[in-house]
Amino acid sequence: MKNNIYTILALGVVLTLGACKKDFLAQNNPNAVTVENYFKTENDVLLAVNGAYQSLRSSNTMGENSGLFTDERSDDTGRNDNQSNAGEPFQFNDFSLLPSNSYLKAHWLALFNAITRSNVILSNVDRVTFTTPANKINYVAEAKFIRAIMYFELVRKWGPVPLVTKQLQNTDEVTAATFRVPEADVYNQIVADLKDGLNSTLPNFQSTVNIGRTSKAAINAYLGKVYLTMASTLPNNKAENLTNANTYLTAAYNMRAFGNLSEIPYTDVFDVTKKTTCKELIFQIPYKQGDINYSSSIAANNQAKGETINSLKVSTGVGGNVTLDLINEYETADPRKDFSVKYANDATVKDWFITKFRDASALATNNGYGGNDWILMRYADVILMLAEVNMLQGNDALAIQYLDMVRARAGMQLYAIAKNDPAYAAKFPNLKLAILHERRVEFAFEHQRWFDLIRNFTAAELVTYLKAKPQSAFGIAKLANVTTKDRYYPIPFDEVKLDPVKMYQNPGY
């Protein structure tokens, strides 16, 4: 039986960390099935897991349109039209984010709501008798995986956050759980959840009908990224964290179903006709071409007025804006630039826009119901993380081998040659910056850049790095605004009001 991840479980009681006391406990719907009465069969658990996966699609969690919380925070994209500087979204790129920002609050709530879906499953799965015990183990692994990657989003953006690992039954339990725990505790839970998945019978890769569900390759890759982030974020155990990062990233790499990355054309990664067959893809959120409810909108949303490259849908806006700073970072003749960005000549635009995600086929219709899947993990990411971790461990020779795998696939000069080019050497004078550059141009607009920056720089270093850029290449957002406070987001104002001591605000806000 095909497992449709779009099936949404209507949980009668959803407990989440909300904006005020009444938000903690969703009101009972007399027409809904309560949690206590829902979990009876294996299929009930499967549908609940599908509902947890569905939460990934949201623009307020990790879906294709969640770039406001990542790319627009970075130096890659922003809002550069004349109407941009009046609204709350502009605060992210302008480094003028306020704790009262409603988009920030929506992001926080959506991430915790997704965690709640996983916790409800994990707290009730033992109610069900499984005829196939392995199914129970796998469903638990999937729920924990979703909880882990949601907490990974939270801890990187906010630092210490409330850590909830069970279904909360009443307001007293919610109140007791409303306090920020140290980052190390959150990371330990993320690691534990992911490692549990490796003890399941999940496959190394999912079959075509199950694309969108996690796998052991995805779990290994995420464990590697988590440990790599821990090495740069936590003050203790750096060497051990790097060793673990290398171990799990290598395990993910060794599971690949191809020989060399160069076997997979860069354009294949984003080709909607190859999204179920491209061997570079490790974990993705499926979207259904032509479907009004489950189609992808990113191609149409990014398209600028007067252009037709992304979608058949006619655009009236500026599309997905790209900073001149990113445009200037592409090396000469890098084919990833021509594929990823284009200059719009329309008189009302006259700016660069994103073309990386395309579906201008008739099947997507004139409404722009595209078929792009949203890629959360792919092998170029694993390879460049292996370059990063080996560089940090002092193994530059191996780091360069991994770096060159990605450069060779793109048709660029190998690092040993490129570093002797005066222009390249001036921009990227050391291996760390060379790897960071490669990640930037390889993963542009894939919601990676902000996380790469905060992983590679301390708060003070990040301020120096960003302020060294010319304002003219950044757009109307003001680089002068950035301070060390911007390493983390502010805790939403309504959350701090709940308990200013236990839900204390981040410094600088």
pLDDT (0 to 100) of residue 37: 82
Segment among 21-25, 52-56, 226-230 with least mean pLDDT: 21-25
Q: How far is CA 301 from the centre of its chain?
A: 18
What distance in Å separates the CA atoms of residue 443 and residue 383, rounded to the nearest whole number?
A: 12
Q: Any idea what DSSP says for residue 13?
A: S
What distance in Å separates the CA atoms of residue 503 and residue 491, rounded to the nearest whole number?
A: 8
CB under 8 Å to 187, separation ≥6 — which residues?
155, 226, 229, 230, 233, 234
Q: What is the mean pLDDT of the chain?
A: 93
Domains of the chain: 1-199+471-509 (1.25.40.390), 203-281+378-456 (1.25.40.900), 287-372 (no CATH)
User: Does 284 score more than 90 pLDDT?
Assistant: yes
- Report CA torsion sign: 388, 69, 233, 17: negative
User: Does 59 score more than 70 pLDDT?
Assistant: yes
CB under 8 Å to 105, separation ≥6 — which residues?
19, 492, 493, 494, 495
pLDDT (0 to 100) of residue 36: 75
Rounded to an integer, the average pLDDT of 188-202 is: 97
Per-residue confidence at 31, pLDDT binned at 50, 70, 90?
low
What distance in Å separates the CA atoms of residue 28 and residue 14, rounded to the nearest whole number?
A: 9
pLDDT tens digit sequence for 451-476: 999 999 999 999 999 999 999 999 99
pLDDT (0 to 100) of residue 6: 35
Q: Are 355 and 302 within 8 A, CB to CB? A: yes
pLDDT tens digit sequence for 393-430: 999 999 999 999 999 999 999 999 999 999 999 999 99
Segment among 81-85, 112-116, 184-188, 410-414 with least mean pLDDT: 81-85
Residue type, 320: G
Count Cβ neighbours within 10 Å for each residue of 6-35 and write b for 16 or more, e otherwise.
Answer: beebebbbbbbbbbeeeebbbeeeeeeeeb
Rounded to an integer, the average pLDDT of 434-438 is: 98
What distance in Å separates the CA atoms of residue 223 and residue 103, rounded to the nearest whole number?
A: 29
Q: Any idea what DSSP says for residue 382?
A: H
Q: Are 384 and 378 within 8 A, CB to CB? A: no
What distance in Å separates the CA atoms of residue 134 and residue 137, rounded to the nearest whole number?
A: 5
pLDDT (0 to 100) of residue 106: 98
Rounded to an integer, the average pLDDT of 211-226 is: 98
pLDDT tens digit sequence for 299-322: 999 999 999 999 999 999 999 999
DSSP SS3 for 463: helix
Segment among 6-20, 190-204, 271-285, 346-360 with least mean pLDDT: 6-20
Per-residue confidence at 28, pLDDT binned at 50, 70, 90?
low
pLDDT (0 to 100) of residue 29: 60
pLDDT (0 to 100) of residue 98: 97
Question: Residue for token digits 């090396």?
Answer: 331
Rounded to an integer, the average pLDDT of 325-332 is: 98
Q: Are 228 and 242 within 8 A, CB to CB? A: yes
Per-residue confidence at 336, pLDDT binned at 50, 70, 90?
very high
User: Does 505 score more than 70 pLDDT?
Assistant: yes
Rounded to an integer, the average pLDDT of 9-38 is: 48
Rounded to an integer, the average pLDDT of 69-85 is: 83
% of the chain beyond a pLDDT of 90: 90
Question: For the whole model, what pTM was predicted?
Answer: 0.93
User: Does 7 score more than 50 pLDDT?
Assistant: no
